[in-house]
C-alpha cells in the first residue's frame, strides 16, 4: 500500500515547501469558516442572547430575534461583495502577495471591532462587514494564488487547501463556542471572537516566506523575478528559465490572438462559457444550502428538539473536516466532473430526506426520527466537503484565462455571495414559517446542479492553465475535454511542470511554437 502511495502524484509533487505555501496562503479561508462557525453557534449561546437579544417568555430563555439574525448574517455577506469588488484592482496592480497583506489588515480591524462591541449589537454588525470584506478579498486572491503556483497534477489538492482551512476554521469555532457554553460565564461569547485574531496574525507572520506567483510576474514582464519564484516553489534544480520562456511566449500569443482586458470581455466569445462555469459552480454551491448549514443549523436543530445542538454542530463540522482531507486525493484522482455530479446527487437526497421527514412539523418527531435527521445532515455536510465545498474554489481558480483571471474570479465570487445574501436574509423568516420544508428548497437545487455538471462542466484535471486556454478557444465540447490531446505551448508547459519526458510530443510542440511565433511576428 505504501508503494502505491509513493507512486501517487500527490506524494511525488507535494513538497514541504509547497505544503507550507498552500497552507499559510489559505488562512484567509480559515477566517471565513471561523466567522461563520462562531456566529452560527453563538446565536444559540445564552450569554450571547442575553447580551444582544431579547427574553423569550414562551421558551423561558434569551434569544436573538429573527430581525437581528437576518441583519447580522446578511450584512456579513454584503461585506464580502465589497471585498470582491476591490480584489481585481488590488491583485492586478499590487500583486497577489501584497493583496494577502491587505486582507490580513482588514481581518484584524474587523476582529477588533467585533471584540470591543460589548454593548452595541450594531458595532458587532459593522465588525462583521469589515471581516467579511477581508474574506471577499480572500475568496479572490487565495484561489488565484494557488492555481498560479500549483503543478497541474496536484492543482486540485492545492486548491482544496482553501476548502480544508475553511472547514477547519468552522470546526475550531464550533468547538470554542461549545466549550464557552460549558463555561457559562457572562463574557464567554467574547472568547471565539478574540481567538479569531490568530488568523490574520498567522498570515502576517508567514508573509515574508511566500513568493509572488510566477505567472503574475511573467504577466508584468518581471522575468528574472519569475525564475526566482519558480525555483523557490519547485526547487533549485528545476528548469525555471525554460518555463519562463514558454510562459512568455504563451502570454504574447494570447495578447496577439485573444486580447482581453476588461470585465466585459468575460462575456464575449469563448470567455463567456468560462464565466458561466466559474460563476455557476459558486452560485449552485450556495443554492444547495451551505449558508443554511453554516449559519442556521444550530437553530434548526433546536427546533428539532435537540437538547444540546452545539455538540451536534461540532460533530457535523468534524465529519466535514475528515471529508476535506479525503478530497485532497479524490479531486485529482477521480476528476472534477464525477466528484461534483455524485456529490450533488447525495446532497440532494439528504436534504430532500430531511425536508420530507420534518414537513409536518417538529413537535411530532420521535427521538429516532430526530437522530435520522441529524444523520442526514451530517452526511450532507460530509459529501459537501468531499465535492462542492472544494470543487467550487478549484474550478473558480483554474477556469479563467490568464488575461482575465482576476475578473473571472470576481464574477465567480460575486455569484456565490450575491446568492448567499438573500439566503441569509430570508432563511430565518422562511424557516420560522415552513420549518423543515426549508430543506426541500435546497435539495431541489442539488438536482439542478447535477444537470449543470452533466451538460456544462468540463474535466480539467491534469491540465496546465495554458492547455485550458487552448481547449476553450478551440471550442472543445464539454464531454471531450477529458480525452482531448493538446499539442500547443500549454502541453509543453504541463510536461515541464510534471517533469514528463516525451521527446516526440516535445519536438511537435516546439515545431508548433516556431510557427506560432512566426505568425505573431
For 13-210+265-468, the fitting CATH number among 3.30.450.20, 1.10.760.10, 3.40.30.10, 1.20.1250.20 is 1.20.1250.20
Structure confidence at residue 228 as a pLDDT band (50, 70, 90): very high
User: Which band of pLDDT confidence, cut at 50, 70 and 90, is reported for residue 471?
Assistant: very high
pTM confidence score: 0.78
* pLDDT surpasses 60 at 510: no
Three cell numbers at 78? 454584503
In Å, how far are 31, 107, 497 from 328, measured between CA atoms? 20, 27, 19
Which has more confidence, 172 or 294? 172
In this predicted structure, the answer to whether residue 278 has a pLDDT above a threshold of 70 is: yes
* Better-scored residue on pLDDT, 235 or 499: 235
Label the pairing between strands 61-63 and 54-56.
Answer: antiparallel
Backbone angles phi, psi at 233, to 5 degrees: -80, -45
Euclidean distance between CA atoms 7 and 348, whole angstroms:
35
Q: What is the mean pLDDT of residues 294-307?
A: 74
The ranges of the chain annotated as CATH 1.20.1250.20 are 13-210+265-468
How confident is the model at residue 36, as a pLDDT? 73
Contact 71, 178 (CB under 8 A): no
274 band by pLDDT with thresholds 50, 70 and 90: very high
> Alpha-carbon distance 261 to 37, whole Å?
38
pLDDT digits (tens, 9 = 90+) for 82-121: 898 899 999 999 999 999 999 999 999 988 888 887 778 8
Average pLDDT in the 6-11 region?
Answer: 66
Question: Three-state SS for 466?
Answer: helix
Whether the pLDDT of residue 212 is over 90: the answer is yes
Q: Which of 281, 26, 366 is nearest to 162 (CA)?
A: 26
- Cα separation, 409 vs 392, in Å, equals 11
Torsion of CA 68, 72, 73, 79, to 10 degrees: 150
1 SS3 class: coil
Q: What is the pLDDT of residue 437?
A: 82
Predicted local confidence at residue 508, as pLDDT: 41
Confidence of residue 187 (pLDDT cuts 50, 70, 90): low
- Can you tell me which residue has the cell 489588515? 105
All 3 cell numbers of residue 473?
478557444
Average pLDDT, whole number, for the chain?
82
Q: What is the pLDDT of residue 391?
A: 92
Does the pLDDT of residue 256 top 90, yes or no? no
Cα separation, 155 vs 396, in Å, equals 12
Q: Residue 514 above 50 pLDDT? A: no
Amino acid at each position: 500500500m505504501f508503494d502505491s502511495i509513493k507512486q501517487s502524484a500527490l506524494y511525488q509533487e507535494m513538497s514541504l515547501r509547497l505544503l507550507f505555501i498552500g497552507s499559510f496562503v489559505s488562512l484567509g479561508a480559515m477566517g471565513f469558516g471561523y466567522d461563520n462557525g462562531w456566529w452560527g453557534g453563538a446565536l444559540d449561546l445564552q450569554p450571547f442572547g442575553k447580551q444582544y437579544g431579547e427574553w423569550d417568555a414562551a421558551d423561558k430563555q434569551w434569544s436573538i430575534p429573527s430581525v437581528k439574525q437576518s441583519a447580522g448574517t446578511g450584512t456579513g455577506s454584503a461585506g464580502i461583495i465589497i471585498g470582491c469588488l476591490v480584489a481585481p484592482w488590488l491583485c492586478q496592480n499590487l500583486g497577489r502577495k501584497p493583496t494577502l497583506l491587505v486582507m490580513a489588515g482588514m481581518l484584524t480591524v474587523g476582529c477588533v471591532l467585533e471584540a470591543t462591541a460589548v454593548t452595541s449589537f450594531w458595532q458587532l454588525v459593522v465588525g462583521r462587514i469589515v471581516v467579511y470584506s477581508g474574506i471577499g478579498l480572500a475568496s479572490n486572491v487565495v484561489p488565484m494564488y494557488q492555481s498560479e503556483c500549483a503543478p497541474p497534477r496536484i492543482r486540485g489538492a492545492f486548491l482544496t487547501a482553501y476548502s480544508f482551512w475553511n472547514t477547519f476554521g468552522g470546526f475550531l469555532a464550533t468547538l470554542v463556542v461549545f466549550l464557552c457554553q460549558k463555561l457559562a460565564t457572562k463574557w464567554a461569547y467574547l472568547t471565539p471572537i478574540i481567538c479569531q485574531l490568530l488568523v490574520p496574525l498567522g498570515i502576517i507572520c508567514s508573509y515574508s516566506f511566500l513568493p509572488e506567483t510566477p505567472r503574475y510576474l511573467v504577466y508584468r514582464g518581471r522575468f528574472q523575478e519569475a525564475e526566482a519564484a519558480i525555483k523557490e516553489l519547485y526547487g533549485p534544480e528545476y528548469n525555471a528559465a525554460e518555463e519562463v520562456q514558454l510562459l512568455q511566449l504563451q502570454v504574447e500569443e494570447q495578447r496577439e490572438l485573444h486580447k482581453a482586458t476588461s470585465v466585459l470581455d468575460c462575456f464575449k466569445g469563448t470567455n463567456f462559457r468560462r464565466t458561466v462555469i466559474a460563476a455557476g459552480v459558486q452560485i449552485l454551491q450556495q443554492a444547495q444550502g451551505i449558508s443554511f448549514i453554516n449559519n442556521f443549523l444550530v437553530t434548526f436543530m433546536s427546533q428539532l428538539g435537540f437538547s444540546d445542538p452545539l455538540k451536534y454542530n461540532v460533530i457535523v463540522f468534524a465529519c466535514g473536516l475528515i471529508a476535506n482531507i479525503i478530497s485532497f486525493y479524490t479531486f485529482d484522482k477521480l476528476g472534477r466532473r464525477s466528484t461534483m455530479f455524485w456529490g450533488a446527487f447525495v446532497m440532494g437526497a439528504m436534504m430532500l430526506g430531511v425536508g420530507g421527514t420534518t414537513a409536518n412539523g417538529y413537535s411530532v418527531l420521535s427521538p429516532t426520527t430526530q437522530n435520522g435527521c441529524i444523520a442526514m445532515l451530517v452526511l450532507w455536510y460530509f459529501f459537501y466537503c468531499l465535492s462542492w465545498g472544494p470543487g467550487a474554489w478549484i474550478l473558480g481558480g483554474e477556469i479563467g484565462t490568464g488575461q482575465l483571471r482576476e475578473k473571472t474570479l470576481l464574477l465567480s465570487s460575486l455569484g456565490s455571495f450575491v446568492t448567499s445574501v438573500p439566503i441569509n436574509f430570508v432563511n430565518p423568516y422562511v424557516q420560522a414559517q415552513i420549518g423543515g420544508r426549508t430543506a426541500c428548497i435546497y435539495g431541489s437545487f442539488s438536482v439542478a446542479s447535477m444537470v449543470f455538471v452533466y451538460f456544462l462542466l468540463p474535466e480539467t484535471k491534469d491540465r496546465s492553465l495554458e492547455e485550458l486556454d487552448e481547449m476553450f478557444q478551440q471550442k472543445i465540447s464539454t464531454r471531450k475535454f477529458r480525452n482531448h490531446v493538446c499539442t500547443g505551448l500549454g502541453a509543453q508547459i504541463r510536461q515541464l511542470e510534471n517533469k514528463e519526458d516525451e521527446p516526440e510530443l516535445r519536438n511537435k510542440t516546439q515545431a508548433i511554437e516556431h510557427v506560432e511565433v512566426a505568425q505573431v511576428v
